[in-house]
Structure 1
Amino acid sequence: MHGYTHKICHFLLGSAFILISSITLAEGANADEPIMAASVPNSCDIFSKLSDGELGVNGTNTILSSNKAYGGSPGLVIVDCAGFVDISISAPAQEEPGTSKTKFPTAGLSATATDATSTFNIQSGTAKKPLPEDYDGQIEVNMTADNQGSTILPGEYNFTVTLTVTSQ
């Protein structure tokens, strides 16, 4: 009987070591939850200028405009945006007219940008406006050069209108 008692003690002592080792190992185990992150910025590309605008003249030769009523046509650009962006448009900048052409007054120069679905309409001289999220479409750029009642001298006239898109 004495042999069994000794074996039982060894068995219990061995079991105690295994139990303590298991508990110690369990307490020593650690887990972590790594965070996987990415930052995708808002962006917008003016992919292509479909066409430059063309200016027509009103019946009294005092206004140049891309308005179809005057024989003009708007400039067209394709824009593709990811996320939220703002749009702004500059007033037309006249190329130096020289001495034999009309220099338009700054107050007579204006431009607008709109899209085909009238989602937005922004005028030069106003604060930037947000485009709809993930906007992808065609933007129409119109302009007017009003000589404020004075006759426009004959000649070629060129203007630049800048359309700007920026991340919010």
Structure 2
Amino acid sequence: MSLTDPNVQSALIAASTTLTVLFLRALAKPVWERSFHKFKLESDYRYDQRKRVREAISKYKVPLLNSAEYLNHRLWNFSKNAPEAWHVKSADEQIKDKYYLQSFCYRFLLFFAICRKVDLELVFLDSTVSTKEDLELLKYLKCFPHFFCDAGIFEGLNYDHSKPTDHFFWR
């Protein structure tokens, strides 16, 4: 058996290749597994958070859309019938006799309550990893109550912003 024998050469090449691959694998395996494990954890985290956000939105989507539709129709109705003063309580009337005013308040509060429920359900979730559509809906839900609760809508009028007489404080 000589080193010039083709069978010996092929056996030596195979053995050295095997040893080289095993050595390189031993060096690269911890680095590869660590980075793969980190990638898998991040991927699982994003997936889990997206799933939970989607579940929270799905849980309240139908009641939210219904309450928004009821509020929308009441606002349209109010814009047409505001001069009728159905929403104004006179001194000799009781609140329980003012259906229009009660139903108006109910629709506002129902919509805001559902927005608040969604917000509370998402407190411990990372909504920043949500899909673009879910994130836009969540931003809208956070913005809408603040829009109606902002005392800035009374700019130019003699209105005391520190007292919630014509607006209410959100949170």
TM-score range, shorter chain: 0.3 to 0.5
Decide which structure has greater strand share.
Answer: 1
Structure-1-length-normalised TM-score: 0.33
More helix by share: 2
Name which one, 1 or 2, has greater alpha-carbon Rg. 1
